A and B are shown apart, each in its own frame.
Chain A
């Protein structure tokens, strides 16, 4: 369970990331490399620390529980971001790192450096632009579900051993219909990063540890979560 958010750098991207997490009541800590960014973050009321890029980052484990921390590497320079990512990964094997890259090439390097997720700014933006031309309704829908603060939500549930869904087949599940929920996909714990979508997974057997991805109204989702545990 993520409780602490560490943001490295304080540019426009870092500001947006920080403000989104502050809105959701997370503890946000900003690390910057220069005095100017330090002053900017401080004047925005953030908890900020001035650090060196070649720091050993031991303070992180002293101050936080690594399991509850997520790091956002959002430095302006891609090379510095790669160095930061690899430094953090070298020190903490299990820390969760999300890195912001300029292009797809830099994102690939950040993944190699150990980032769990690398977001390429240019490609992500271009994809959203083209998607909004090709599938405007889908984009509107995604904005409603993912970004807008509306009742309709995406959720994911880890199937426990004692769950009613353990050892059942995807096509046999009817429980969700009682709660007005749509099951989108299942992420198999054995097939890392692979999804079986309900449209193709007739023969998929759900095991404990699999992650069920669903969509529904907030109230229905809560009731459904109780029902499957």
Chain B
């Protein structure tokens, strides 16, 4: 290995091992390229502000002289920021040091001679791939006004407007959708070019020597062809000969066809990509959600649960791979991802972080078989997450428990006990149903005793329940319920009060308990 190759390998290992270097690279990559990075949007807003201010200065400068500081801001400050951004994007696009190390280790393993020149050329061609991308070219051109002494380069400020594409997701999506129809657009371009060229030549031949015709030059002939084919027809150049008018008729019909073809390409591109665009939107929305309930399956029960969650303003995301059900949920504007909840890759693909984002999982699928499979997938990703599940057949209860489901709702059992309870005490049962009903003003609710409340309220007597127009049913202390607790019962952090009262009074009472420490 040559001296230079060795130095490069050493440097590569040094950079790969350097926490500071790798950390900064990760940070800048996230800031520039990672849509899920929460601070990226602020960076994007900042860049868009720079672009807008630059374009506004350009417009202002057309008729009025700009002050010196504005010129300096436009030519130097913005350009330098753009140059920095370009350099950082160039840096984070790929890792030369990583490529060198990989090649070096591979060659070492195979007892081959380390081909430094090859790896360097591969790494540089990767960088070139970035530099030759449309966005990178626009970025580079947007820096050009820095060389403002070359007056022509000032026009490159216009490229700054194109940079907006980079920071606006919807514009990017628009471009992506159109890019999916490259072949059709290329065909259309060829057809249009041929039509314009042929008609321009014909109109030139027919009109150029006619004294009454305004079309004198080849450029004017092309201009006329273009304006006519686009169906705009300014009327500044009009054919006067029979041949010229015949050409005009042909080109007008072709123009209508071109326009119709273009429209149909754009429409079909959007129709085809609509689901993908919607899905991308949901994925992006989900990545922005801090906490949510994950509903696996959109069964009949799940749809009612989703409606309640939606109505109560609780965040949730549905995973369902049945297309018709997905459409049904989409119509109700529920956040739904078309994916199988029982597959591990679903959570990776859609960036669902069970550990950080999901409060609890609701397995509400159509069968116990699906429920168990999904529960085990989720358990394998996150062993401690709370899973609540619907049980279809009583005989499968043990299997669901073994699959790690924390709470099982078995409707048959539920209806059975409700029926019995209703028969024994119909009035009391109805009273409880009213308390549990969403439409009732009087509700049963819970208030968690936290350190803030505890700093001033040490016992039940301190809570002032007697004067609050609330009924205190009891207190949960580490899952043990103390019914109608005495005034001298001590409060601890994590205790929960179960109270009955008017909704607004409970809210106000809870606020006052917290406020009392201020």
Contacts and interface: CB of A to CB of B under 8 A. Distances in A.
Interface of A: 2, 5, 12-13, 15-17, 19-21, 24, 70, 72, 98, 100, 103, 117, 119, 121-138, 140-142, 144, 146-147, 152, 154-156, 180-182, 184-185, 187, 193, 195, 197-200, 211, 213, 215-217
B496 to A, nearest CB: 4
Given A17-B420, A132-B388, A197 B415 contact: no
A196 to B, nearest CB: 9
B416 A13 contact: yes
A213 to B, nearest CB: 5
Interface in B194-222: none
Given A19-B416, A137-B496, A199-B505, A182 B445 contact: no
B415 A154 contact: no
Contacts of B359: 133
B516 to A, nearest CB: 21
B469 A119 contact: no
Residue of B300, B393, B422, B483 contacting most chain A CB atoms (<10 Å): B483
A17 B416 CA distance: 4
Contact of B416 (A16, A141, A217): A16
A127 to B, nearest CB: 7
Given A70-B423, A182-B473, A199-B471, 19 more contacts: A2-B424, A12-B412, A17-B419, A117-B426, A125-B409, A129-B362, A129-B364, A130-B305, A132-B388, A133-B362, A133-B388, A134-B314, A140-B476, A141-B498, A154-B425, A195-B430, A197-B431, A199-B470, A215-B483
A215 B206 CA distance: 103
Contact of B312 (A5, A98, A130, A180): A130
A156 B484 contact: no
B360 A100 contact: no
Contacts of A129: 301, 305, 362, 364, 388, 390, 409
A185 B421 contact: no
Interface in B481-518: 481, 483-484, 496, 498, 500-502, 505
Contacts of B416: 13, 15-17, 19-20
Interface in B387-435: 388, 390, 393-394, 407, 409, 411-432, 434-435
Contacts, number: 179
A185 B430 CA distance: 11
A126 B409 CA distance: 9
B498 A117 contact: no
B427 A147 contact: no
29 contacts: A16-B415, A17-B420, A20-B416, A20-B419, A21-B420, A70-B423, A119-B419, A121-B415, A123-B304, A124-B418, A129-B301, A130-B312, A131-B436, A132-B407, A135-B445, A136-B446, A138-B445, A138-B498, A140-B476, A141-B444, A141-B498, A156-B425, A156-B426, A185-B431, A193-B430, A195-B431, A197-B431, A197-B500, A213-B428
B473 A122 contact: no
Interface of B: 293, 300-301, 304-305, 308-309, 312, 314, 359-360, 362, 364, 388, 390, 393-394, 407, 409, 411-432, 434-436, 442, 444-446, 469-471, 473-474, 476, 479, 481, 483-484, 496, 498, 500-502, 505
B432 A146 contact: yes
B394 A133 contact: no
Given A125-B301, A127-B308, A154 B436 contact: no
Contacts of A128: 409, 414
B368 to A, nearest CB: 13
A123 B265 CA distance: 47
List 8 A-B pairs, minimum CB-CB distance, nearest first.
A16-B416, A126-B304, A20-B420, A137-B446, A12-B412, A156-B428, A130-B308, A125-B411
B471 A213 contact: no
A131 to B, nearest CB: 7
